[in-house]
Chains A and B, each alone.
Chain A
Amino acid sequence: MSAGSVLVVGASAAGLATAEALRRKGFTGRLTLLDAEPHRPYDRPPLSKQYLAGDWDADRIRLRTSTVDDALVVGEAAVGLDAATRTVRTATRRTLTADAVVVATGLRPRTLPGRPDLAGVRVLRSLDDATALRAELAAARRVVVVGDGVLAAEIAATARRSGAEVTMAGPQPAPLADQLGPLAAGLLADLHTARGVRLRLGTAVAEVVADRGRATGVRLADGETLPADLVVVAIGALPATDWLAGSGLRIDDGVVCDERCVAAPGIYAAGDVARWYHPGLGRLVRLENRTNATEQGIAVAGAILGADRPYAPVPYMWTDQYDARIQVHGRPAADAEVTVTDGAVADGRFVAVYRHAGRPSAVLGWNMPRQARLRRADVAAAYAGESRPEGAR
């Protein structure tokens, strides 16, 4: 199928990559790129790093839009979709119909139950979130970061730079333990501790405690209260699919798609919101990382233009915390067997290969990006369908 008109909902990494790739590949039909946020497209990874730290300003994190400027409509949310007619309704009561509709609406942050309106409680997903958090961090003396995943760890690292007392609280034994396993998570715990972040891990956070509408701390499941004048909640995010209720699409932890990222005839999904069938892994997966957003966007553009190729990437993510740059090719399982293949843990530079049932399923580089990439080939087979390590989720 080749479409005469395309409507992309969500103009961030995935949506913009789709639109740019359509134009690059010679699409000359009608193109609309719609986003709810009032800002021109910007990049999210720096929001917890250089932008939050104050090193970069908003101009520095703008995404490139020069080839799709004419298609961009910002500040207008999609509020409904009829998949059968490929018609999108917007908050300004417009209806937009296209031959192909791409869902690229990303995620919305999870919040702690109750009291979302308290002062001194912040989440981080958007530029406005980051701008508000940056201002409050500058004044905060005691910060509690609720969460123990990658975003929580990055926020804690950046918050520490402003000189505040920072505590990280979450249920895992160490930051990113589920994601990276005990070796890397243990090193991250040591790194945060050495930089003065207090880790109060291994216990879930029950609630934010407040006085007169302002957060004063968090209460842990074991009863202890950690005082804070700023609470940052980074406990994960959920696919932004509310607007797709009643659309006729299958929604189950994201927009469910086949191996060509097709959710229904003429409807595609890309980026953090897409849960597609990865043919190499033989199951539905949803990735929340920056390179997938771009690569899947490009794949969807190809599919719209008639390419008949399944989307089967080797997942890739990176995180920067203090002076550690960690990169992961593939999906490590926490219970995998881990072998250091290059460098040395004691030197703060190494590459580790994760194996499941003897087969490599992921490579982690710690301050060794080039060497980690060179080992990527060892895990590629696991994502091409030639072998399916049990733990490669």
Chain B
Amino acid sequence: MKVLLDQDSCVASGQCVMAAPDVFDQRDEDGIAVLLDDTPGADAADGVRQAAAICPALAIAVQD
């Protein structure tokens, strides 16, 4: 699975971090999301799909 993150759209809500804490974090200074792992393993897949679905800024895309 490949994860794409559009930081320009991100509104720093942190929903992705709550859904997949091993894959996403937020920058300290402005809360914009960062990818910790852009090709996470199968165990993280559900969390990442959930993150892509709930991100209120549609900033996360997943390619299988």
A-to-B contact residues, CB < 8 Å: 17, 20-21, 24, 43, 45, 63-64, 290-291, 294-295, 298, 316, 318, 320, 325, 327, 365, 367-373, 376
Contacts and interface: CB of A to CB of B under 8 A. Distances in A.
Contact of A294 (B11, B31, B54): B54
Given A43-B58, A298-B54, 10 more contacts: A20-B53, A21-B53, A316-B13, A320-B11, A325-B11, A369-B26, A369-B31, A370-B14, A373-B18, A376-B14
A291 B14 contact: no
Interface in B11-64: 11-15, 17-18, 26-28, 30-31, 49, 53-54, 56, 58
Contacts of B27: 370
A45 B13 contact: no
A24 B30 contact: no
A314 B51 CA distance: 16
Contact of A298 (B11, B26, B53): B53
B12 A291 contact: no
Contacts of A291: 13, 15, 54, 56
Contacts of B26: 369-370, 373
20 contacts: A21-B53, A291-B13, A291-B15, A291-B54, A298-B53, A316-B13, A316-B15, A318-B11, A325-B12, A325-B31, A327-B31, A368-B31, A369-B14, A369-B26, A369-B30, A369-B31, A370-B12, A370-B31, A371-B28, A373-B18
Q: Of residues A45, A290, A316, A370, which shows the largest number of chain B Cβ atoms within 10 Å of its Cβ?
A: A370
Contacts of A20: 53
A286 B49 CA distance: 27
Contacts of A376: 14
Contacts of A43: 58
B46 to A, nearest CB: 10
A371 B17 CA distance: 12
A378 to B, nearest CB: 14
A-B residue pairs, 5 tightest by C-beta: A369-B31, A369-B12, A373-B14, A370-B26, A290-B56
B53 A17 contact: yes
Contacts of B56: 45, 290-291, 294
B30 A367 contact: yes
A25 to B, nearest CB: 10
Nearest to B14: A373
Contacts of B31: 325, 327, 365, 368-370, 372-373
Nearest to B15: A291
A368 B27 CA distance: 10
B44 to A, nearest CB: 16
B2 to A, nearest CB: 16
